[in-house]
Amino acid sequence: MSKATRTPEGAFPGIRHDHGDCVAEALSAAEALCAQRGVRLTELRRRVFELVWSSHAPVGAYDLLSRLAREREGAAPPTVYRALDFLKEHGLIHRIESLNAFVGCRTPGQAHAGQFLICSECGMAAEIDDSRVNAAIDRRAKEIGFAVHSKTIEVEGLCPPCRDRAGEDGHGIG
């Protein structure tokens, strides 16, 4: 199994996965990307990136701000939003439109749309990048004559563990 493409089973990292590895991997990828592009992953941007990566659940800008404010006196909304803008611009994070929240990108540097499965129970988001989905949209757009710039694909539902848990509940006394 290649390292580049994770298995579908890995879409939602288990509750016991070593998240430190996720963060470390993301950070080093981000550093490499910024170095390559000649842009600066400043301390602030790096810190905001780490905070976004603090879990696989998308996190709101003001959540980030309140955490940032603990360590950085005078942090204000623009502090966070500017860092987020930078990270987004360079494909290091994605914005989840349906949640007004941000999540780390699993495949930074690649041109990609960002397709997400988002669990409404536990909040976890899994980034998928399904070529069939992309192809189906592109095909349809082409039929219509629409020139695609970017795609927002956010699927809400239950991740495997939460789905199973919900199923158990349904089996009870009722």
Partner DNA sequence: GAATATTAGGTTATAATATAACATATCTTG
Partner DNA sequence: CAAGATATGTTATATTATAACCTAATATTC
Q: Is residue 133 a contact residue for a copy of itself (CB under 8 A)?
A: yes
**Contact partners, residue 87, CB within 8 Å, separation at least 6:** 45, 48, 49, 52, 93, 102
Report d(CA 30, CA 121) in Å as an integer.
Answer: 30
What, of a copy of itself, DNA, none, does residue 21 touch, CB below 5 to 8 Å by kind? none
What, of DNA, a copy of itself, none, does residue 73 touch, CB below 5 to 8 Å by kind? DNA
Q: Is residue 171 a contact residue for a copy of itself (CB under 8 A)?
A: no
Question: Minimal distance in Å, beta carbon 38 to a copy of itself?
Answer: 26
Question: Between β-strands 115-119 and 101-104, what pairing exists: parallel, antiparallel or unpaired?
Answer: unpaired
Burial state string for 139-165 with b = 16 or more CB within 10 A and e = fewer than 16: eeeeeeeeeeeeeebbeeebbeebeee
Residue 40, CA distances (Å) to 48, 90, 167 in order: 14, 11, 48
Q: Which of 18, 43, 73, 143 binds a copy of itself (CB under 8 A)?
A: 143
Task: CB nearer to a copy of itself: give 12 or 75.
Answer: 12
What, of a copy of itself, DNA, none, does residue 69 touch, CB below 5 to 8 Å by kind? none
What, of a copy of itself, DNA, none, does residue 50 touch, CB below 5 to 8 Å by kind? none
Residues 93-132 that bind a copy of itself (CB under 8 A): 97-98, 115, 117, 119-120, 126, 128, 130, 132
Q: Are 51 and 107 in contact, with CB atoms under 8 Å apart?
A: no
Side chain identity at 9, as an amino acid letter? Answer: E
Residues that bind a copy of itself (CB under 8 A): 8-9, 11-12, 97-98, 115, 117, 119-120, 126, 128, 130, 132-133, 135-137, 139-141, 143-160, 163, 166
